[in-house]
Amino acid sequence: MSQETGIWLFGYGSLVWRPEFAHVERRPAHVDGWTRRFWQGSTDHRGVPDDPGRVVTLIAEPGARCHGVAYLVAPATAAEVFAGLDHRERGGYARVELQVHFPSSSARPDGATSAPARMYLATHDNPNYLGDAPLPAIAQQIARCRGPSGTNVEYLLRLADALRDLGAVDDHVFELERLVRAHASL
Ligand code: SIN
């Protein structure tokens, strides 16, 4: 990556299905050593302070792989885009740098199979972090919660659909989808 080309951003949650920022490329991508979990509380998007919803963060796990989407942000719009995303992700996410990998079906024209990228990560020390819980309890929380951006169910179901569109398998997300659909008769 060079500043002339732009800045890659890796999305693994709402940024997969609702980017809503200017970008010049969108490519399926993955990060290694990370697994997606509904362990972050949401008091500003999919819940409220008295009843936080659950949204995804990534947890370090040797050997794991998380599939998502890499977006290339042009240098001319980068300051505005990242200011907007810093605001959107302000509920506990910090911007970190890591290496993203492009599958062969998504290889770049220059042949690059990986690139440095930014990502928003909610670590265990942020005030909204909820951590692990039994999946049925997480599913019940998701089925119940809503916030200024909409229902927590919408967040989960749209993420699951977007992962299927990418051809990605995520047992944690798909099992929660199954439990929530059963719970809410969806
Ligand atoms: C992301 O999508 O990459 C960050 C978490 C979220 O906004 O859901």
Å from CA of 135 to ligand 1 middle: 20
Q: What are phi and psi of 93, to 5 degrees?
A: -95, 140
Minimum CA distance residue for ligand 1 atom 4: 13
Please identify which of the residues 25, 61, 89, 97 carries the catalytic annotation. 89
* pLDDT confidence tier of residue 3, bands split at 50, 70 and 90: very low
Neighbours of 166 (CB within 10 A): 18
Residues found in the chain: 186
* pLDDT confidence tier of residue 160, bands split at 50, 70 and 90: very high
Supply the pLDDT for residue 1: 45
* pLDDT confidence tier of residue 186, bands split at 50, 70 and 90: low
Supply the pLDDT for residue 119: 98
Supply the pLDDT for residue 157: 98
List the alpha helices (DSSP H) in 46-106.
75-88
Supply the pLDDT for residue 2: 46
What digits encode the pLDDT tens for the residues 37-92? 999 999 999 999 999 999 999 999 999 999 999 999 999 999 999 999 999 999 99
Q: How far apart are CA 179 and CA 158, in angstroms?
A: 15
The closest-lying atom of ligand 1 relative to the alpha carbon of residue 88 is 7
Q: Tell me the pTM.
A: 0.94
What digits encode the pLDDT tens for the residues 113-154? 999 999 999 999 999 999 999 999 999 999 999 999 999 999
Å from CA of 120 to ligand 1 middle: 7
Q: How far apart are CA 32 and CA 155, in angstroms?
A: 24
Mutate to test the pocket of ligand 1, among 36, 55, 56, 87 (most ligand atoms within 8 A of CB): 56
Å from CA of 13 to ligand 1 middle: 4
Asked if 89 is an active-site residue, the reply is: yes
* pLDDT confidence tier of residue 106, bands split at 50, 70 and 90: low
